[in-house]
Structure 1
Amino acid sequence: MKMLKFFAAAFVLFTTCACSTEDDASVRALARRIIPDQEQRFRFERLADTTGTDWFELESRGKKIVVRGNNSNSIAVELNHYLKNYCLTTVSRLSYNPVEMPAVLPRIREKVRAEARVKERFYLNYCTFGYTMPWWGWSEWERFIDWMALQGVTMPLAITGQEAVWERVWTRLNLSQKEVCSYFTDPAHLPWHRMTNIDYWQGPLPQEWLDNQLELQKHIVARERKLEMIPVLPAFAGHVPQKLERLYPDAKITHVSYWGGFALDTAWKTGIDDNRWIERLTDRLTGFRDETARAIWRTLCDSVYTQPVQTGQSALTNAHPSLEGN
């Protein structure tokens, strides 16, 4: 009978261990970066996902804090939950801010379990890459990616280094290196270049910058994928160098509408004029097809982006009357 009980207990122990991974290497590495003196006090267990929903569990087992979940991202979120709610500490997204930990890790009296309320969690916008990140290197990005994982971000915007790709595109279309680099703005204004607002402002971009950003993006995307994020990469928005007209005179290339105090010829794209843009935006994105609804939408655009419209002037030229008719 004693032998039977032993085998029964051994079977339960075996099946319990077989369904989990003893250690999630990606979260282990994250913990080693942010709390190097305490990371050995944690176990990061990964269990098979049977619910289709991100989830995590947290409990004390002996002298260890056990953090488990269905993927690396979920486990990172629960690690952060423990740090905030039990250790009363905060992990800053800035690497020079220390993470202050208690000498003895607090125990968890009852198992904690939670599920994600939404499947995908998107983060960042284009402007952040100009306001905050233009001079970041890998040390800043490494900590920031860890911070995003701790917050449960699954879809970070990943647009660093895209100019190196466009450089290859335009040079393969026979633009000169000088023409291509002059098409880009300086690093701090690149978000507005990427959003088709301006060209060559404070440029040209040095080749060293293009090369370094491309290598940095490779590290960024690789680390985000290790932590089971899906990097959101840029696509082609129709923005082209003005000099492309020299090589392709029959291409339909037009000015981008006046923006933010910059001269009218500071950005070029394949596109349509202002009135048609308003019409397309209202028809396809908002469903406003009748004249009254379009007028209301245009008034909203005027109030947000320009000064009050004067008689006979369009919304986008009102802020700079000399552009009327161009």
Structure 2
Amino acid sequence: MKHTIFIIVSLLFFTINSITCKLDNEDDELARIIRPITDEKTQQQAALNVIRRLIHERADNVAIKVNFKLPVNYFKIRKTNNSEMLRIEASSGVAATKAFHYYLKHFCGVHISWDGHQLKTLEQLDEFPAVNIEVEASSKIVYYQNVCTHSYSYSFWKFEQWREHIDFIALSGITLTLAPFQEDVWTEIYREYGMTQDEIDEHLAGVGFFAWQRMGNIRGWGGKLSKNFIEFASNLQQQIITALNELGISVAIQAFDGHLPIHFKTIFPNASFSSTTQWNDFPPQYCCPLFIEPIDPLFREIGEKFLRAMIQRYGTNHIYFSDPFNEVQPRISDANYLRNVSLSIYSGMQAVDSNAIWLLQGWFLVNNPDFWNDEITKAFLTAVPHNKLLILDLQSEQHPQYNRTSSFYGQKFIWCMLHNFGGTLGMHGSIRLMNVEIPRAANMENSSMIGVGITPEGIHQNYVVYEFALEKAWDYQEINHKKWIKNYARNRYGLVSHETTSIEHAWLLLLKSVYAFEGLQNIRGKYVYCRRPSLRIQVWRWYDEKLVIKALGKFLAINESDLLNDHLYERDLVDLTRQLLQIQAEFIYTTLVETFKKKDLRKFAIASEMFLELLRDLDSLLATHDDFLLGKFLEDAKAMALDDDERKQLEFNARNQITLWGPDGQILDYATKQWNGIVMDYYLPRWTLFIQQLNISLQTNIAFNQSKFQQDVFNQVEYPFNENNAKFYPSKANGNVVNKAKELFHKWKRITFN
């Protein structure tokens, strides 16, 4: 009996380990298929170049060896006391740069982020500290980007900005991202099929709205594209992909997803087309591109032609992104139909590249769960051969889909933190939840999770949650997140332990408040003062605002002289003071509405003036730091132009995206920004007009008319702001951050209406 039990247990152990090994081998295989073919020496040199750009001549004491025989995403670091050289051996260039960042963070107290770097703690060291460690990442793939990220965050970047961001990507250990452009190839293909330039211009959206035109949501809005821009974007994309591939970072390029210009119906009258559903009430001239039915031979023809052209121009890492139903509902709810759609898309990829992997955003499952029931979801996902589809579970921190789909029916997926919509500001995040849920997802029964990624719609906000997610990508194990955030605070500002009590306490308070969100409510960054005024705005907060106010007090209690001109400290101080004003604006707004309804003229007048004064103070605060300036955004847009007409068009793209988002406010305030300039010339005039009309209502005893106000504010404020290209906004900060923050903290930490 004992022998029988032993044999059964042994067989069970062997079976489980065989399954585990098989899954690990599959994961390794997928990761290796998409790995760039760049040789070891090229990746070594590219990694050293990143390090040299970061630490300059001290890079002479860093040696890197890239060895493709090592496990995927692996590195080891050696430094002895009797040698000046820091030696890194890694599986790729990006693993080597991640290793160097890991070493700087954990052994030199350095901080690296998209907000900026803190390197003074390294500069204080005479030589690199001794170390002997090796790390193998939990993730086979570490992913970055949402298809919307380009449009919201780097529509107007040149290569100088990309170069810095690619270095950040490499130092963060990100191994897969997206190519930003495709319009050059589409322009050529449309011409091949007989479209005129005017017809092409009518279809392609403007620079600030590429993402949604590509996914079939809109057409033509913000266009037309100049020949200058098409050539610029093509050259820029070649530079970006080359720089990423040299580091061993994979780049997914676009594959055909079925969306076409409406003119194809005239060119191919017998083809099987349907129109996409109207998206967010965009008017007919800007909505409803065609969708070519996958069973039509034209689908395969166009798909192959497009992908071949993309590969010929930009090369391939054998991974292609395609999102046929992003906020677009399929015409019928039928499992066989959707199976054929999926199979047709993948077959088109495979016909061009036998090693093709399809990268698919899972947002369609979050956006339309009633349509995507279990039967049709399974049909759509499993039509693609196993290990040939890689799914981004796009908002795993709030709306995970891996659990309701039995780990995507065995298809590989990446646990992704979306977190941000529209590139809006506002402090929030779910650090404890990520700490728990990432290892839980990886260890669940039959898990097909292959990695962790960050998928924000916009960057340059709330960096702390992204650093946490990217660290979890390399190590799934649950950690002490309170200890982690204290270390984060020390490194970010470069303070030694005995100096950091106040800053550590501040970040612990933020961890307990704004970064402790674990609900299902949508957080879109549309806070009260950023929204079109109304008496019906719902004020909602998941945290104790007193903790945030206390955290700001702790920030201001620092006496360390080194922080007085510290970029990261001052940036965070502006952001935290901005958060205080955001909180207090909500309290004032609530009082304003209540006193209006009660017809308390005295208190209404006090609340009204207080609200407008707060907006003026907010604008003056934001003016003190480069990261909070409208002018910087607009000047980047205009700098891409060759002539005045193009400058006006690009500036319109920038202004419209962050305000009306459409011709008549179709996605009003979705991508709102709390920046100097837009507060003074957009939010403040809106609220001034609103309060004026409320006052008239109180004085005349005639009911306030929200519909009339909306038309008035559109005509008098919103539309003119979109069209006004005459006013210049500064792109450099002005004023003293610390003094302004102290002034506003003491002024606004408590409010009364006496």
TM-score range, shorter chain: 0.7 to 0.9
Contact 1:122 1:157 in 2 (8 A): no
SS at 2:271 equivalent: coil
Contact 2:44 2:66 in 1 (8 A): yes
Letter in 2 for 1:120: I
Shift of 1:103: 3.6
Contact 2:72 2:140 in 1 (8 A): yes
Residues of 2 paired with 1:55 and 1:274: CA distance?
42
Deviations 1:107-134 (A, max 9, x none): 4444011111121222101110111010
Deviations 1:96-115 (A, max 9, x none): 76754424255444401111
Judge which range, 275-284 or 167-176, deviates more: 275-284
Residues of 1 paired with 2:222 and 2:150: CA distance?
16
Aligned pairs for 1:163-242 within 5 A: 163-242=183-262
Q: 1:71 aligns with which of 69, 88, 92?
A: 92
Shift of 1:219: 0.4
Shift of 1:55: 1.3
Shift of 1:227: 0.4
Q: Which residue of 1 aligns with 2:79?
A: 60
Letter in 2 for 1:255: S
Q: Which residue of 2 aligns with 1:134?
A: 155
Residues of 1 paired with 2:44 and 2:127: CA distance?
22
Q: Which residue of 1 aligns with 2:134?
A: 113
Q: 1:67 to 1:274 in 2, by over 3 A?
A: closer
Contact 1:87 1:106 in 2 (8 A): no
Is 2:377 aligned against 1:285? yes
Deviations 1:181-221 (A, max 9, x none): 22111111111111110000121122211111011000011
Q: Which residue of 2 aligns with 1:12?
A: none
TM-score by length of 1: 0.74
Aligned pair count reads: 269
Judge which range, 121-130 or 254-263, deviates more: 254-263
Letter in 1 for 2:75: F
SS at 2:223 equivalent: coil
Aligned pairs for 1:1-326 within 5 A: 24-47=44-67, 49-50=69-70, 52-61=71-80, 62-93=83-114, 99-100=119-120, 101-104=122-125, 107-158=128-179, 160-263=180-283, 266-271=287-292, 274=330, 276-277=332-333, 280=338, 281-282=372-373, 283-286=375-378
Residues of 2 paired with 1:181 and 1:99: CA distance?
47
Residues of 2 paired with 1:110 and 1:142: CA distance?
30
Residues of 2 paired with 1:56 and 1:74: CA distance?
6
Contact 1:87 1:102 in 2 (8 A): no
Shift of 1:87: 2.2
Shift of 1:252: 2.1
Q: Which residue of 2 aligns with 1:297?
A: none
SS at 1:231 equivalent: strand
Contact 2:333 2:376 in 1 (8 A): no
Judge which range, 174-183 or 277-286, deviates more: 277-286
Unmatched 5+ stretches in structure 1: 1-19, 289-302, 305-318, 320-326
Judge which range, 113-122 or 162-171, deviates more: 113-122
Letter in 2 for 1:114: V
Q: 1:213 to 1:275 in 2, by over 3 A?
A: closer
Residues of 2 paired with 1:277 and 1:105: CA distance?
66
Judge which range, 120-129 or 251-260, deviates more: 251-260
Contact 1:181 1:203 in 2 (8 A): yes
Shift of 1:267: 2.7
Judge which range, 180-189 or 166-175, deviates more: 180-189
Residues of 1 paired with 2:241 and 2:274: CA distance?
34
Q: 1:179 to 1:190 in 2, by over 3 A?
A: same
Larger fraction in helix: 2
Contact 1:27 1:72 in 2 (8 A): yes
Letter in 2 for 1:60: K
Letter in 2 for 1:284: I
Residues of 2 paired with 1:105 and 1:70: CA distance?
29
Unmatched 5+ stretches in structure 2: 1-39, 294-328, 339-371, 381-520, 523-665, 667-754
Judge which range, 270-279 or 71-80, deviates more: 270-279
Residues of 1 paired with 2:99 and 2:128: CA distance?
15
Letter in 2 for 1:285: T
Contact 1:28 1:44 in 2 (8 A): yes
TM-score by length of 2: 0.34
Residues of 2 paired with 1:108 and 1:278: CA distance?
62
Q: 1:277 to 1:130 in 2, by over 3 A?
A: farther
RMSD: 2.8
Deviations 1:34-89 (A, max 9, x none): 22132112111234524x33211112141122222122121111011112122222
Contact 2:110 2:118 in 1 (8 A): no
Contact 1:182 1:205 in 2 (8 A): no
SS at 1:36 equivalent: helix
Residues of 1 paired with 2:333 and 2:280: CA distance?
18
Residues of 1 paired with 2:85 and 2:283: CA distance?
63
